[in-house]
Structure 1
Amino acid sequence: MRRVTLTGADNAVGVDPLEPPLSAPLRRDLGWTQVQRMSQSAVHRDDRQLRVIRSTAAIRRGTRMTKVLSAAQVAGHLGGWLPYGFCYRSCDLAHLHEPADLGLLRTDGSSDVDVVYALRWRAVDPSDYEVPAGPAQPGLAALPAHSRIGAMVLGTGFSPSTEDLIPEFVTAGFADLPLPANAQIIAYVPGGEEVILYAYQPEQHGWLRLAGPRWRPVLANLPGISPDREYLPCTSAASARLIGRIKEHEYEAIADPPDEFRVRALTRAARYPVQTLSRRAEQARWRGAPCWVLQRDDSWARLRLVRPDGDGLAATGARCYERGVYESWAPLHELADHHITDIPYAL
């Protein structure tokens, strides 16, 4: 199935407003085969027609997003990892069900094709995502093969594929994004069946198992995770969180896109809607490279490059941990412009 909508002057398409389709104005001199080939060629990175097509794959508040995971990455997210790095609109992957097809979109270089896992959530705001190409990420496509993991970044905004047209995204600046309510960890098994394994409980900051005994072998694949546990609390400290305000008071907040943004509270009566919302994270510069500060103690800080490129890798010695994600440890006293930042969202 080819994920593209033919458009013309008299064509009216009824679609979910939260998930506008990728649309291409196909005509006699611009057919499907040509568009697909253009998406796979570095020669067409700056092609105006291809950029117009790519721009139709828009993210709205509430758009369903998917990151394809390995078993090891699932274990990390169950422990408290946040969404970050390469991801896709769920609607652009709707035609892919078999593990062998989805496995090509994993980011950590793993090769298991028996089962593929994924994290699925709804976007809090379009500003949290960008296209992994110029101008947002101009250096990714130029990184040499020995310094990357996973598929190469084409720089066209599309995932490498011999037959599909799949627009890809990264979290803005490869940032960690706070996990919204109703996020899910799912599995794709041979035969194309989709299984919801866990659902995120935001007030408790943990994962509730939904998969029954039939899926015990799928759960048993997850390293360090007991398939018998019904609830898994997140134990890793989050590097980003949502902050809401009600009048002059500040609260930790929870997003339930597209419409609900509330105070995080265990009792329902205290879950008031917030008046403003922002994402709070820690930033710094190290050896000239802008970074997110993911962890730190009194002496060292774990950093992730905001815009990976050859110069940044050479200056920091950052190592690739998954596709597009480059991290390093730095002495805390060497950080410049070290600060807490609030990225506001318009409600």
Structure 2
Amino acid sequence: MTVIGEEAAVAADPLEPPLMAPLRRDLSWAQVQAMSQSAGHRQDAALHSIRATAAVRRGTRMIKVLSAAQLAGHLAGWLPYGFCYRACDIAHLRTPAELAVLRTDGAGDDAVAYALRWRATDPLDFEIPMGAVQSGLSALPAHSRIGAMVLGTGFTPSTDDLIPEFVTADFADLPMPANAQLLAYPGTGDEVVLYTYQPEQHGWLRLAGPRWRHLLEGVPGVSPDREYVPCTDAGSSRLVGRINENEYQAVADPPEDFRVRALTRAARYAVQSLSRRAEQALWRNVPTWVLQRDESWARLRLVRPDADAVSAVGARCYERGVYEVWAPVRELTDHHIAELRYQI
């Protein structure tokens, strides 16, 4: 995170533009920090202008802080979803205690923190929970939420840092891009790459050597000595690419590589167009994503959680901002495949 004056210039990675605040005599650092933590500034034009500088580009490194249980879930095939951050905005936070404020499931572990880091396939996959965007989250009562409250200013609650936060658009699952990483942060301040994602095989390759394998001992259902972990969950969202009139399952390796998913390297042709597809439906007039289903029941996630929607369907909060519920398939309406097309 970079805070500069109005006339200053700064060299920056074009994929990760810095967060910038035009500090002046009448706008100090303390004032910017206070504005970011006050719900009364949700519609403040100056705060909106500052928040807009922390943009997501194609290829921006995104990160989500995880518990041990969430790490196990991603090893099994969970996709990126929910609250997340740009890696550059939290690079100075390196210990479990410092990262605790970014946890989404309310769990605590002082010994080690985990994270998922991936590159953004497209800015359309993310939105800023600020102002009218996901405004229902900030009004949800404390007894029906997990994790830190959502301020609605676009910044995470913090007394010391100015950390811009994002959510996956409509709380969608995002297809896992190539070379995503699962990380560990022990109390030493080190960043340890535990696994890297292999999209063609749909699994995780362990990179952590013997020195760091003890960091996996507390992860449920995971053997620290296993070099390759295949994903057992197919995921609710997928990428589809086209070459001429033919359609293929696709893999994203942002910022530039979008290809056919194929085990043979020679068949990994670049696609000409790219889309993200997932199931959506209405239940009791509440828009949802269909995460799982069989002939009788479907697991749903609310697209825009608010007090009325949560009450209407009896949804439960599983992590910060994420509300899910099981519903009879026969009661779903407007059940369809939603498609988001990217410009590549």
Asked if these proteins are the same fold (TM beyond 0.5), I'd say: yes
TM-score w.r.t. structure 1 length?
0.98
- Contact 1:252/1:263, CA 8 A, preserved across alignment: yes
Task: Kindly state the Cα deviation for residue 135 of structure 1 after the two structures are TM-superposed.
Answer: 2.2
Task: Kindly state the Cα deviation for residue 283 of structure 1 after the two structures are TM-superposed.
Answer: 0.3
- Contact 2:5/2:24, CA 8 A, preserved across alignment: no
- Contact 1:133/1:141, CA 8 A, preserved across alignment: no
Query: Which stretches in structure 2 are left out of the alignment for 5+ residues?
Result: none
Pair 1:106 & 2:94 matched: no
The separation in 2 between residues aligned to 1:133 and 1:119, in whole angstroms, is: 24
TM-score w.r.t. structure 2 length?
0.99
Task: Determine the structure 2 residue equivalent to 1:67.
Answer: 64
Task: Kindly state the Cα deviation for residue 251 of structure 1 after the two structures are TM-superposed.
Answer: 0.2
Equivalent position SS for 1:30: coil
- Contact 1:188/1:194, CA 8 A, preserved across alignment: yes
- Contact 2:6/2:24, CA 8 A, preserved across alignment: no
Pair 1:183 & 2:176 matched: no
The separation in 2 between residues aligned to 1:225 and 1:16, in whole angstroms, is: 36
Aligned runs of 1:201-240 on 2, under 5 Å?
Answer: 201-240=198-237
Amino acid at match of 2:227: E
Amino acid at match of 1:194: E
Equivalent position SS for 1:165: coil
Aligned runs of 1:147-296 on 2, under 5 Å?
Answer: 147-296=144-293
Aligned runs of 1:2-21 on 2, under 5 Å?
Answer: 3-9=1-7, 11-21=8-18
Equivalent position SS for 1:203: coil
- Contact 1:133/1:140, CA 8 A, preserved across alignment: no
The separation in 2 between residues aligned to 1:276 and 1:130, in whole angstroms, is: 23
Amino acid at match of 2:3: T
- Contact 1:207/1:232, CA 8 A, preserved across alignment: yes
- Contact 1:4/1:165, CA 8 A, preserved across alignment: no
Aligned runs of 1:30-41 on 2, under 5 Å?
Answer: 30-41=27-38
Amino acid at match of 2:234: A
Equivalent position SS for 1:314: helix
Task: Kindly state the Cα deviation for residue 133 of structure 1 after the two structures are TM-superposed.
Answer: 2.6
Amino acid at match of 1:136: V
- Contact 2:75/2:231, CA 8 A, preserved across alignment: yes
The separation in 1 between residues aligned to 2:131 and 2:291, in whole angstroms, is: 25
Task: Determine the structure 2 residue equivalent to 1:86.
Answer: 83
Amino acid at match of 1:146: H
The separation in 2 between residues aligned to 1:103 and 1:270, in whole angstroms, is: 43
Task: Determine the structure 2 residue equivalent to 1:141.
Answer: 138
Task: Kindly state the Cα deviation for residue 221 of structure 1 after the two structures are TM-superposed.
Answer: 1.3
Task: Kindly state the Cα deviation for residue 126 of structure 1 after the two structures are TM-superposed.
Answer: 0.2
Task: Kindly state the Cα deviation for residue 134 of structure 1 after the two structures are TM-superposed.
Answer: 2.9
Of 319, 322, 325, 1:322 maps to 319
Of 302, 306, 331, 1:305 maps to 302
Query: Which stretches in structure 1 are left out of the alignment for 5+ residues?
Result: none
The separation in 2 between residues aligned to 1:302 and 1:98, in whole angstroms, is: 35
Task: Kindly state the Cα deviation for residue 44 of structure 1 after the two structures are TM-superposed.
Answer: 0.8
- Contact 2:178/2:251, CA 8 A, preserved across alignment: yes
Equivalent position SS for 2:152: coil
Amino acid at match of 1:8: E
The separation in 2 between residues aligned to 1:35 and 1:122, in whole angstroms, is: 29
- Contact 1:207/1:233, CA 8 A, preserved across alignment: yes
Of 326, 332, 339, 2:329 maps to 332
The separation in 2 between residues aligned to 1:58 and 1:106, in whole angstroms, is: 22
- Contact 2:35/2:47, CA 8 A, preserved across alignment: yes
- Runs of 4 or more above 4 Å deviation: none
